[in-house]
Amino acid sequence: MDDASVTSEDLQKFRGVKAEIFDLKIPLVEKGMTRDLLAQGDHSTFRVVCYAPNQGEPHGLHAHTDEEHVFVILHGCANFSTIDGDLPQLGKYQALWLPKGCFYEFVNPGPEPLVVLRFGATREKQTSGPRLTPGGDPIPGRSTRHPHLQDVTFLENAFLE
C-alpha cells in the first residue's frame, strides 16, 4: 500500500492501532526451555526464549521455509552451526540473522542459562511456517517431538533484568 492508496477507512483503522508494552524480566531456567510470545503482528513475531545449560534446539539442522529470523543473545552464549559448519560462538548483545531457507541449529554450551530474543518475519500472515531437515523431511512441532522440554525447572529467584 503506498501513500496514495490509503483510504479514509484505512486511516480510521490505523487510528485504532495501539502500541504494546511488555516486561523483559525473564525467569531463568535450570532445566528445559521456555518460549514466550511477547508480541505478534500480521507478518512478524517477537519471542523471548530461555534455554537451560547444555540445551538447544534438539531437532538438529533445519531451515524455516517461510520465515526469516534474528536471534539476539541477552544472557549466556550460543554455539550456532549452519550447513557449512560451526559459526563463532555468540555472547551477550551479539546477534545472528538467518534468512528464510538458511539451515541452522544451536546449543547453549553452558554453564548458565541462555536467553535469546527471537524476531521472526514472514511474507504471508502466519504464526510459524514449515521447518525442514537438509534432506527435505518436515519437522513437527516441539511439543510433540520433544515433550521433555516442557518439563521446566526454574532457578530460584533468578531473573534476567
Sketch out the chain's domains with CATH numbers.
31-131 (2.60.120.10)
- Read off the pTM: 0.80
Convert the chain into a string of H (helix), E (strand) and C (coil): CCHHHCCHHHHHHHHCCCCCCCCCCEEEEEECEEEEEEEECCCEEEEEEEECCCCECCCCCEEECCEEEEEEEEECCEEEEECCEECCCECCCCEEEECCCCCEEEECCCCCCEEEEEEEEECCCCCCCCEECCCCCECCCHHHHCHHHHCCEEEEEEEEC
* Tens digit of each residue's pLDDT (9 = 90 or more) over 73-95: 999 999 999 999 999 999 999 99
Instruction: Tell me the average pLDDT across 140-149.
Output: 54
**Would you state the pLDDT for residue 128?**
55
**Would you state the pLDDT for residue 145?**
47
**Would you state the pLDDT for residue 22?**
87
pLDDT at 58 over 70: no
Are the beta carbons of 84 and 123 closer than 8 angstroms? no
Instruction: Tell me the average pLDDT across 109-128.
Output: 84
More confident residue, 135 or 69: 69
Mean pLDDT of the residues in the chain: 85
* Tens digit of each residue's pLDDT (9 = 90 or more) over 13-24: 989 989 989 888
